[in-house]
Copies of this chain bind each other. A is one copy, B any other.
Amino acid sequence: MVRSPTFSPLYQQIKALIMQSLGQGEWKPGELIPSEVELSLRFGVSQGTVRKAIDELSNENLLVRRQGKGTFVATHNEARAHFRFLRLVPDTGEPKYPESRIVEFKRLRLPADITRLLELKAGESGFVISRVLSFNAKPTVLDEIWLPLGPFKGLSIEQLNAWSGPLYGFFESTFDVCMVSAEERIKAVSADKTQADLLGVDQGFPLLYVERLSRAFGDKPVEVRRGWYVTDNFYYKNELS
């Protein structure tokens, strides 16, 4: 009922409040959030206004509505989320989740291009993970994953090896870092010697190069990922509208 001094619509303010609660961990991934009626009482607005806020958060994949049950915080540890950030599809047959093999794990001072993307000060420390993803034992993706130290304090290679499933599910369960959106920049490149060896192709083989900047709640950038994809039997799928 009360108009805020910012003049943004009420439902946007409610949306911001809900996002704040999500970011502060009041409701964790996979959990049930309060019902629309409860939230409308808590915020002192009508149910319809809460509804519109939740509608948008649901469209942005932050929340998931289930009729009769309630509204849940989205999680990467669910079958339905497994292909949200993995757009690689086999030319024939169904999408399948790959196996992961960690090639390298290091703590180090991050290079300048990474700190710039992650909005850190030059020279700050972090981690880099190299891994190979394989479909049916066929190496297909070489990933280089750059992380800032802060949110991932205590990350170890033992943890990584013990985890099977989406890395974003691991980040969410272990570090309360929930990936919410990402921007990808895609190019075609030639495989260098190292890449060719790890992926089992010839040097110079054309690879799909995918550079991703991922963001957590509050649009905070928390991961830079560089992927090299072998696309003779797979393709990157994108829907336009």
Contacts and interface: CB of A to CB of B under 8 A. Distances in A.
A187 B208 contact: yes
Q: How large is the interface on A (under 10, 10 to 19, 20 to 34, 35 or more residues)?
A: 35 or more
Nearest to A238: B184
Interface string A207-220: 11101100000000
A145 to B, nearest CB: 15
Contact of A208 (B84, B188, B204, B239): B188
Identical chains bound together, number: 2
Main secondary structure of the interface of A (DSSP, over half): strand
Contacts of A180: 241
Given A182-B239, A183-B240, A188 B204 contact: no
27 contacts: A59-B59, A60-B241, A85-B240, A181-B240, A181-B241, A182-B241, A183-B237, A183-B238, A183-B240, A184-B238, A184-B240, A185-B237, A186-B186, A186-B208, A186-B231, A186-B235, A186-B236, A186-B237, A186-B238, A187-B231, A187-B232, A188-B188, A188-B207, A189-B206, A206-B207, A211-B235, A238-B238
